[in-house]
Structures are given as C-alpha cells and as structure tokens.
Amino acid sequence: MSKSTKDRKNICVSSEEITRQQQFIEEIKEINYQREVQTGKKKLYYLATFGCQMNEHDSEKLAGMLSEMGYAETDNMNDSDLIIYNTCCVRENAELKVYGHLGPLKHLKKENPDLLIAVCGCMMQQPEVVEHIKKTYRHVDLIFGTHNLYKFPELVYSAIGSPTTIIDVWDCEGQIAEDVAIERKDGVKAWVTVMYGCNNFCSYCIVPYVRGRERSRKMDNIIEEIKTLGQQGFKEITLLGQNVNSYGKDIGDGTSFAGLIREVDKVPGIERIRFMTSHPKDLSDELIHAMRDCQKVCEHLHLPFQAGSTRILREMNRKYTKEDYLGLVSRIKENIPDITLSTDIIVGFPGETEEDFLETLDIVEKVRFDNAYTFLYSKRTGTPAAKMEEQIPDEVKKDRFQRLLATQNRISKELNDTFLGKVVEVLVEGVSKTNDKVFTGRTRGNKIVNFEGDGSLIGQLVNVRIDNVKTWSLEGSIIK
C-alpha cells in the first residue's frame, strides 16, 4: 500500500501548500493584468479534453485555476495564449488523436513565441510518452501528470519565459487536494469526485498505472461540496470514481459508499443523484438497498461487464463469473423494478473465441441494457494482457464488434419503443446545438429527451409526453 493511503492523517494536501499555489495564482494574475492594460486584450486559454468524466472534471479544475489566474476561455486556438491538452490513454486511439493535434501547434508557436503549450493527464504518466513528446514535439512548454494537478499555477509560472520544457510527473499518487477552484461548464448537473485511483488491475487496463491506488475523500468534504452546489442551484450530482463501490475501504472506519449516498440524499436543493463507475464484484446488497431507499438516487446504473465468458473474465482478472453478474442484475431488478442499465463491453480480448463472444451476446440479450459502450480491445503496453499470446486479428474483432452493435441497437430501440405515449419526468439541461427552440434533458433512467420549450425551463423538472422514439433518444411535448 502506498504511503498516502496508509497514513490517513496526511491524506490531504496541506493548507500551506494550497496557499503557496494561491500566491502563484496572484503573480500570474498580475502579469496577465499588466498585459491586458498594455494590449487591451484579456489573455485567452484553449483547453481540449480527451477521455472519461474524471478527465472532464479535472479539466473543470484546470479551468477554475485558469480563471483565477486571469485567463478567459476561447474555442479558437489560433487566438489563444495558452493551449492545454488533458489526455487519455485508456485506448490507443485516444493517444493517437493527441499526437495528431500536437504536431500542427508547431507553426502557432513560431508565429507567437509567447504562446504556452501544455499537455497533462493520463498519457503523461507513461515515461515513454513523455520521452516521445520531448523528442518529437519540442514546442511543448509544460508536461505534467494526474497526481499534481493542484500544482498547475506553479507550473504555469515556471513555464512562462522558460527556454526548456518544464516536466513534472509524479510516479506515485500524491495527497488529495481539497479547495482547488472548479469552474463547472454546466449549471444544472455537477460531477463530484468521491475517490481517486483504482486497485483492481483488470489485465487489459492501464488506469491503475496512471491514476494510482484508491484514495477516498473524506465524507465531510464531499457533503460540504454538495451542500454548496445545492445552494448554488445545481440539481443533479454525479458521484465519480473509477470504482465507487470501494469508496471508504481505505478509510477503514466503516465508511461505505452506501452510507455516503444516504447522506447525499439528505442535501437540500439536489433533486437527482447518480454515480459511476460500479465494479460488479464490489456492488453490495447494502448499496442496492440504499439505491432503493434513497428518493433522489436515480433508477439508473452503469455496470460494466466487459465480457460474457467466465474464462475470459478470469483472464481479465475481473473476479466474477457470468453467473455472478447475471445474479447481481436479477437482485438489482428485483429491488429496483424501474432500473435502466448501461454497461461497457470489450470485444476481441486476447484468446476470445467465437464461443466466448457468443457468451457476451448472451448477456446482452438476457440483461437487455438500455445502452452499451462497446470497445475494440486495445493493447496497452505495461498491462498483463499486452503480453498474452493469441491477440485477435483486427478483422475478427471488427466483425464481432458490428454484430454486438447491431444486437445492442435493436434492444435499445425496443426498450425506447415502450416509452411511446408515456409521460416522463425530465430535468431540463439545455438547448439543442442545432435548433434554439428544441430543449434537451434526461429522465431519471438517463434517457435523453428532446422537446420544444423555452430557456426559462433550464434546471426545472418538467413532464414530457413521448411522441416519437429513436435508438438513442426520445422526443416529446411538454404537458402542463
């Protein structure tokens, strides 16, 4: 066990360190202010995020700190003074995309030598990636990882005017930084991290190597944050962690995820509670009962099963069998009859035979998920599965992937069809990107619903009658 999880007394970054970072924020703010006075133009940042909600939420922290430093956001990178890529490495595609973006930045840097280019996040936790960026993309000014995000102000300060690339990547997880500014994109829904890291080491997955061991935030800090969000008018909270079901295990005083959601359920102003991601091996009956009992906890669960064959599950180090998973789903459905389920599935894990794949299809048919995130297995250097023999040829993977997608699309549409003519409660999230008369929101079961309305509805719960059904969304009209 790492020092930071053993020694709970020191689990949080000290207030002195946070104050030190605040001083860097003030210094940079002053530099930016002087520039603004000279040029009449505020300094701008462009931030691109790849990967999961955890990364999206980390970007909200970067945005919060940037805003404190006196930067404003732009979506035009040609116009920006600071470009930052928050990266993901869970699959090879995500990494290739980042490299594809970094190359063309060279000419921007030539045109504007004061431009700062930063890359951070999961990819940077791999030494070979840092080496590659240092060699190939010399125009990058700043590289940092996932464990020292709170040091961003100090790192920006060091990078300003530095002739060399500033690199600060920690190979072991640091302490939890409370009190970092967060600039949330949305005013209705908010992510709240409850724990960091993962101890599971699924054999295909790089996350435990780049996000470190499990560290839970203190329950008091989480509840305080959610109370503030409730006062600020946020209506929906999604509790985030790589494996939220093991929340509290490292604290060792009986704190549990079920206990946490019972407390969150009491926070005034919050109407809906969601959480992700749940590992089937750790989803306790205690949690199922808490979901059933807590009025604000939505009837939706994201429960990745990854593969249907018990043999492949063993190779994946998932620690449950196909029967365990189906039994768990039955218990959930018995306790929460309206539950909608979503999942993650990997196709083409090393050694996966046609029979193994048919077991995956069998789970999809038996459980009837509302939604599935399906992935082609991607070899990640450093994980045990990367060394396994019998890697599956691309064309076999792709063929299975298409069959899986067709099955899931049919089921999603069939489940959505059952909503035709029904009235559902929708939390209105915002306006459609393509039509300013069309608004969008979600049901408690996480179904996307589009309907005509007006801006005053954002953040409200409205009743919508479903008139039309698509595979991935519902359409309807508001009823008074």
Angstrom distances, CA of residue 179 to CA of 8, 21, 22, 71, 148: 18, 11, 11, 19, 14
User: From ligand 5AD, ligand SF4, none, which one binds at residue 198 (CB under 5 to 8 Å depending on kind)?
Assistant: ligand SF4
- Using CB under 6 A, list all residues that contact ligand 5AD: 90-91, 204-205, 304, 306, 344, 346, 375, 377-378, 380
CB atoms within 10 A of CB 354: 9
Least Å from the CB of residue 378 to ligand SF4: 12
User: From ligand SF4, ligand 5AD, none, which one binds at residue 274 (CB under 5 to 8 Å depending on kind)?
Assistant: none
Measured N-to-C along each axis, helices 152-159 and 15-39 cross at an angle, to the nearest 10 degrees, of 40
What are the tokens at 470?
A: 């698509």
The nearer residue to ligand 5AD, 210 or 469, going by C-beta atoms, is: 210
Least Å from the CB of residue 257 to ligand SF4: 14
Least Å from the CB of residue 48 to ligand 5AD: 19
The nearer residue to ligand SF4, 200 or 450, going by C-beta atoms, is: 200
User: From ligand 5AD, ligand SF4, none, which one binds at residue 346 (CB under 5 to 8 Å depending on kind)?
Assistant: ligand 5AD
Q: Is 89 annotated as ligand-binding? A: no
The nearer residue to ligand 5AD, 304 or 476, going by C-beta atoms, is: 304
Least Å from the CB of residue 201 to ligand 5AD: 12
Measured N-to-C along each axis, helices 322-335 and 285-293 cross at an angle, to the nearest 10 degrees, of 30
The closest residue (CB) to ligand 5AD is 344
Chain centroid to Cα 436, Å, comes to 28
Residues numbered 340-369 forming contacts with ligand SF4, rule: CB under 6 A:
none
CA gap 143, 102 in Å, rounded: 13
Q: Is 279 in the site for ligand SF4 (CB under 6 A)?
A: yes
User: From ligand SF4, ligand 5AD, none, which one binds at residue 44 (CB under 5 to 8 Å depending on kind)?
Assistant: none
Under 8 Å between Cβ of 449 and 426:
yes
Angstrom distances, CA of residue 320 to CA of 168, 375, 387, 394: 38, 20, 22, 27
CA gap 158, 166 in Å, rounded: 7
Q: Is 120 annotated as ligand-binding? A: no
CB atoms within 10 A of CB 134: 14
The angle formed by the CA atoms of residues 221, 226 and 230, to the nearest 5 degrees, is 150
Q: Is 242 in the site for ligand SF4 (CB under 6 A)?
A: yes
Place of tokens 């409370």: 178
CA gap 123, 143 in Å, rounded: 10
User: From ligand SF4, ligand 5AD, none, which one binds at residue 91 (CB under 5 to 8 Å depending on kind)?
Assistant: ligand 5AD
User: From ligand 5AD, ligand SF4, none, which one binds at residue 208 (CB under 5 to 8 Å depending on kind)?
Assistant: ligand SF4
The nearer residue to ligand SF4, 318 or 397, going by C-beta atoms, is: 318
User: From ligand SF4, ligand 5AD, none, which one binds at residue 378 (CB under 5 to 8 Å depending on kind)?
Assistant: ligand 5AD
CB atoms within 10 A of CB 212: 24
- Which residues in 392-411 are b (16+ Cβ under 10 Å) and which e? beeeebeebbeebeebbeeb
Residues numbered 189-218 forming contacts with ligand SF4, rule: CB under 6 A:
198, 200-202, 205, 207-208
The nearer residue to ligand 5AD, 304 or 459, going by C-beta atoms, is: 304
Amino acid at 314: R
The nearer residue to ligand SF4, 159 or 194, going by C-beta atoms, is: 194
Peptide bond between residue 277 and the one before it cis (omega within 30 degrees of 0): yes
The nearer residue to ligand 5AD, 70 or 304, going by C-beta atoms, is: 304
Least Å from the CB of residue 51 to ligand SF4: 12
Least Å from the CB of residue 464 to ligand 5AD: 31
* Residues in contact with 8: Cβ distance below 8 Å, sequence separation at least 6, in sequence order: 250, 251, 252
Under 8 Å between Cβ of 14 and 150:
no
User: From ligand 5AD, ligand SF4, none, which one binds at residue 242 (CB under 5 to 8 Å depending on kind)?
Assistant: ligand SF4
Number of residues in contact with ligand SF4 under rule CB under 6 A: 10
Least Å from the CB of residue 201 to ligand SF4: 6
Least Å from the CB of residue 94 to ligand SF4: 14
Q: Is 378 in the site for ligand SF4 (CB under 6 A)?
A: no
Residue in 373, 374, 370 with CA at minimum distance from that of residue 443: 370
Element spanning 62, H or E: helix 53-68
Q: Is 172 annotated as ligand-binding? A: no
Q: Is 239 in the site for ligand SF4 (CB under 6 A)?
A: no
User: From ligand 5AD, ligand SF4, none, which one binds at residue 375 (CB under 5 to 8 Å depending on kind)?
Assistant: ligand 5AD
Q: Which residues pair with 143 in a beta bridge?
A: 119, 167
Residue 155, SS3? Answer: helix
Q: Is 205 annotated as ligand-binding? A: yes
Residues annotated in a binding site: 52, 88, 122, 198, 202, 205
Residues annotated in a binding site for [4Fe-4S] cluster: 52, 88, 122, 198, 202, 205
Q: Contact positions toward ligand SF4, by CB under 6 A?
A: 198, 200-202, 205, 207-208, 242-243, 279
